[in-house]
Homo-oligomer: A and B are copies of this chain.
Amino acid sequence: MISKEQIAADYQQIQDEICAALELTDGNAHFEEELWEREGGGGGRTRIIQNGNIFEKGGVNFSAVHGTLPHTMKKALNVEQDDFFATGVSIVIHPNHPMVPIIHMNIRYFEMPSSFSSDQPVRWFGGGIDLTPHYVIEDDARFFHGYLKSVCDQFYHDFYHRFKLWADDYFFIKHRDETRGIGGIFYDRLTANEELSWEQILEFSKAVGRSFVPIYTELVKRNRNKDFNEDQQAWQYQRRSRYTEFNLVYDAGTRFGLETNGRIESILMSLPPTAKWVYNYHPVPGSEEEKTLSLLKKGINWV
């Protein structure tokens, strides 16, 4: 098994690759970097891009932290051990253009020493990519899910199927009875077994990370030059309010960060630059907005 240091180094490299590609795509804005240290051990590189040609606000964050698990985290993770190591890359991008989707990607690795010193450490991988179009464009949705399926299929035959269902369930705004977007893949506590080695799972994790750039640059390219009007921008801001609701009410990572005194500005970089809440909004029958709402449902098969 590759060391945790190697995994963190691989993740850092993926962060570098993604930031370079996004700056190239934007053509104007550059990432600002904030290096931070965690009191209990470790730290991170928060990188934020703002007010670009394409990207209104986005973060591509790396962190590698270690230390003693707070009691609440032990309970939440259902583990007994006190020491932990966690590393990951997290991305959320809010574009200017209402036809360009919001995207989220995360790859992460978690490790704890076993309670018995002779044993292997307890460890797992988690992550995923999901897409939140302000307007669901069916061709784009098929491209997105098709790409993810092709990545998953290189590693295990049921990964796409399982992780797509998991994303549908996870990225769900219960009180609105709607999904956050068109889903994608989500997985957690992925461990080696007879069929997959740790090395293969690490490669899968890196492949998910490296699928971000080709997927998102394609979606930006397809939509960035479309015309849009003020009503469509207002709708974009409304969709962002739903994104905010999901992240503050349900997202496990966000709530975990808030409860364990993480670096607030890194955790909440996922929140949109502008969001609007309109009372009792109902889309015009037959409109594109209504069509989008009809597609924010679990269980749609895009491939």
Q: Which residues of A approach B to under 8 Å, CB–CB?
A: 34, 48, 50, 57, 59, 174-176, 237, 241, 244-245, 248-249, 255, 258, 261, 264-265, 268-269, 271-280
Known: A248-B248, A249-B258, A258-B175. A273 touches B268 (CB 8 A): no
Are B249 and A265 in contact, with the CB atoms below 8 A? Answer: no
Are B237 and A244 in contact, with the CB atoms below 8 A? Answer: no
User: Given the complex, which residues of B lie within 8 Å of A264, measured CB to CB?
Assistant: 175-176
Minimum CB distance partner of A34 in chain B: B280
User: Given the complex, which residues of B lie within 8 Å of A34, measured CB to CB?
Assistant: 280
Give the complex CA separation of A264 and B59 in angstroms.
30
Are A274 and B276 in contact, with the CB atoms below 8 A? Answer: yes
Tell which of B255, B272, B275, B277 touches A268, judged by Cβ atoms closer than 8 Å: B277
Give the complex CA separation of A34 and B277 in angstroms.
17
User: Given the complex, which residues of B lie within 8 Å of A255, measured CB to CB?
Assistant: 249
Are B244 and A48 in contact, with the CB atoms below 8 A? Answer: no
Give the complex CA separation of A40 and B27 in angstroms.
56
Are B265 and A271 in contact, with the CB atoms below 8 A? Answer: no
Tell which of B48, B50, B57, B249 touches A248, judged by Cβ atoms closer than 8 Å: B249
* Min distance, Cβ A181 to any Cβ of chain B, angstroms: 19
Give the complex CA separation of A87 and B273 in angstroms.
37
User: Given the complex, which residues of B lie within 8 Å of A265, measured CB to CB?
Assistant: 279-280
Are B279 and A269 in contact, with the CB atoms below 8 A? Answer: yes
Minimum CB distance partner of A280 in chain B: B265
A-B residue pairs, 4 tightest by C-beta: A248-B248, A271-B277, A175-B258, A265-B280
Give the complex CA separation of A273 and B279 in angstroms.
8
Give the complex CA separation of A248 and B242 in angstroms.
12
Are A272 and B279 in contact, with the CB atoms below 8 A? Answer: no
User: Given the complex, which residues of B lie within 8 Å of A249, measured CB to CB?
Assistant: 248-249, 255, 258
Are A248 and B244 in contact, with the CB atoms below 8 A? Answer: yes
Tell which of B273, B279, B280 touches A277, judged by Cβ atoms closer than 8 Å: B273
Are A273 and B273 in contact, with the CB atoms below 8 A? Answer: no
Question: Quick one: which of A248, A249, A272, A280 has the most chain B CB within 10 A?
Answer: A280
Question: Quick one: which of A175, A241, A265 has the most chain B CB within 10 A?
Answer: A175
Tell which of B57, B237, B241, B271 touches A271, judged by Cβ atoms closer than 8 Å: B241
Tell which of B57, B258, B275 touches A275, judged by Cβ atoms closer than 8 Å: B275
Beyond A175-B258, A268-B277, 9 additional pairs, beta carbon < 8 A? A48-B280, A174-B258, A175-B261, A241-B271, A265-B279, A273-B276, A273-B278, A275-B276, A275-B277
